Amino acid sequence: MSDSTTEHKGNEERHNQFLQEKLDNALRRLEQARPFAKIQYQTQVLALCGRIIGDAEGTECLYALAPRLQESGIFVGTDWEMPSSLLPQLVTNTLERGEKMTVVLDCLSQLRMLAIAQENVRHPTVSPEQARDFLIQVLSLNLKYLFDSADETLRIRLGELGDAVGVLYRFLLEHIGLDNILDGLIKEIWRILAQRPIQVLKVKAMVTRIAVMLSQNKGEIASINIGASRLVSALFGPTQGCQDDPGLEPYRMRLETMDLPALQQEAYGFSRAMHDVGLVSDYHASFLRWLLEQGQGQLISDALGLSSTGLDALRSYQALIHTLIEEAIYPETAQAIYGLSLLLENGALYSSPIAPGLWRQIKLPLSSHAKATLSSVLGDALEPRVYLLASVISLLGQPLGVAQGNNPTCQSARALSMWSYNDPDYLLHLIYQCVRYDSVLKHFEGCPIDSATLESGLAVSAPLDTDPVSIILVPHLDRIYHEMGRLCVGRGQDPHRWINPEFHGWWVGRQFMIAVDVGSGNLMDYDAFIEQFYNSYHPYYNGNQPVIHPQPVGIAVTDSNAQFIGWHAITLLRVALDQTAVMRVYFYNPNNDSGQNWGNGVVVSTQGQGERFGEASLPFEQFLSRLYIFHDDPVGEKGGAMVPAEEIEQVKDMALASWAAGRDACAREVEVQTLEV
């Protein structure tokens, strides 16, 4: 561990101790206050609890204080005063709509319920069994928070407190157990895996806990959810040779005794489980490494599950692929095998700069700062360069699998995805700059911007809940993005008009459309905005022109009640008919979970409507009703049909019933803003 990391942890421990001492003093004042005066002291206690609850140690501390918090009167005069009157189904509403202090109060209420369930607190109106049943229902209704799947609604409204919700729910699960929420949890895991995220550590942790539970209930195996068995076998026993989870070393010894047909069956079993579930077993990594050591490289294509396309790429770049496996694929980085398979399938290696760029990455020495940053987040089981190389493989293979976690860096996460999807050699170039020189150099309107000379943006420290490439690169990109914003101050128009093409790449359309007036926030000739998006992207009205390059767009985020939350950056990928002949917009959302309810029936789909892995989708009209910014090349050249007035009116009505409510006061006409190339 580096000296800077040790010092950081020491400072964090001292800060936590300081907060706990302040909380102790604030609680003492609340305890001493008369009943009618307690409201004056509750706010300070809640504010301190909100700062402490953000990690497992803080949650444990507040749980230990549950009896004292109850007796002090923290719930007096609130809706949480009588726990017997609380309804589990209202917790979700509190999380999605409540103010910060309301959310903190609800979190403390759930810790009180846990203390009652564990008989550490007694309450005259709630029994331990009732408290346990309450928490089981709460966990079942809010499973997404077990995976840090808080969407931008929670992140924008609660800030850092949004992280605390996931910490709390995992803490509750530790004490309540999986058995009562298993069915719902399995469905949630499959829903998340259908989006094929790169970061699956929390999913793997949940599957591991399910595996332990199954092993303890062998007599009831017939009644176990089949989805649970598939998940567990994918991680711990995907093939005949390891189905009893013997351990890595015993498994390697078994491989020594297998003939070629048996080894081929092992390869098929690994690839089938990987592509079916989206999780990769540690045994899979051990198997690939053993194949290379034993000169059985001809089975690698079967172990990766390659089609003729991937097989051709493997044969063309065999030395590179074998080296990538030797240098980056270990049990600790097994998930990168899935990325390697998709990298071969997507044909990226046939772009001439990619292979030499990967050779450079393999041999690339990391700066001391990059090493320390990666080690502080990922540990030292492997060298930092190994984690980074595995992450590069995953990102190039799964451009839509990268996510920002709970960090407010949607612009940077979107850029990583877009470059991996559309310009992977440029992404390799940026990674090289970043880890070699601790700097990223980009240009804005001809002027260089060096990230090493800039102050922090929204990412004040390295993100902890995302992939190694993002850990290293996002802070630099975030600084550059905010510097571009600073350079646009005073122009009187939305800065994304200039930032998006400069930040993302030449393929971003130079025509910029915005639905609102920047000064007032009101709609600005919204009918024309709607019509132009139809003419730009709807195949029936743009001459059947497909989306050639992914385009950055901005949406107005709304919650499940269709209330406006804030602005968010996503990528428009394609527009196409689904299997029921509904025209849909398929897009990338740089969050851990793209399946969201935006209110008034606008529910984002992530599977079952023609989505490819990692895509989200909405019917064209619904998507457009939440759009406020998009780019395109001049629309007049596409020669599409006229857009019916009733379709424009339908989209407008949906917008006015959600984020645009009260924004239609400004009637000033929009100007089509075109950047000079």
What does the alpha-carbon distance between residue 485 and residue 495 come to, in Å, rounded to a whole number? 6
The upper half-sphere exposure of residue 192, i.e. CA atoms within 13 Å in the direction of its Cβ, equals 30
What does the DSSP assignment read for 609-648? SSPPTT-EEEEHHHHHTTEEEEEES-GGGS--PPPPHHHH
The pLDDT > 70 percentage for the chain reads 90
What does the alpha-carbon distance between residue 472 and residue 467 come to, in Å, rounded to a whole number? 9
At 160-191, the pLDDT tens digits run 677 788 889 889 988 888 777 888 888 889 99
pLDDT of residue 673: 43
Task: Strands of 173-295 (E only): list them.
Answer: none
Q: Which residue has the higher pLDDT, 156 or 567?
A: 567
The one-letter code for the residue type at 318 is: Q
In the chain, how long is the greatest CA-to-CA distance? 80
Residue the block writes with tokens 């074998």: 322
What does the alpha-carbon distance between residue 598 and residue 589 come to, in Å, rounded to a whole number? 13
Structure pTM? 0.84
Beta bridge partners of 627: 555
| 3-state SS track over 13-41 | HHHHHHHHHHHHHHHHHHHHCCHHHCHHH
- 8-state DSSP, 603: B
Distances (CA, A) of 476 to 198, 388, 437, 452, 568: 21, 16, 12, 8, 20
- Using pLDDT thresholds of 50, 70 and 90, give the confidence band for residue 228: confident
Beta bridge partners of 392: none
Whether the CA torsion 49, 51, 52, 53 is positive or negative: it is positive
Spatial contact of 638 and 494, defined as CB atoms under 8 Å apart? no
- Using pLDDT thresholds of 50, 70 and 90, give the confidence band for residue 34: confident
- Using pLDDT thresholds of 50, 70 and 90, give the confidence band for residue 669: very low
What does the alpha-carbon distance between residue 478 and residue 412 come to, in Å, rounded to a whole number? 6
At 549-588, the pLDDT tens digits run 999 999 999 988 898 988 999 999 999 999 999 999 999 9
What does the alpha-carbon distance between residue 276 and residue 270 come to, in Å, rounded to a whole number? 10
The upper half-sphere exposure of residue 80, i.e. CA atoms within 13 Å in the direction of its Cβ, equals 22
Spatial contact of 355 and 409, defined as CB atoms under 8 Å apart? no
pLDDT of residue 36: 77
Mean of the per-residue pLDDT values for the chain?
88
pLDDT of residue 408: 67
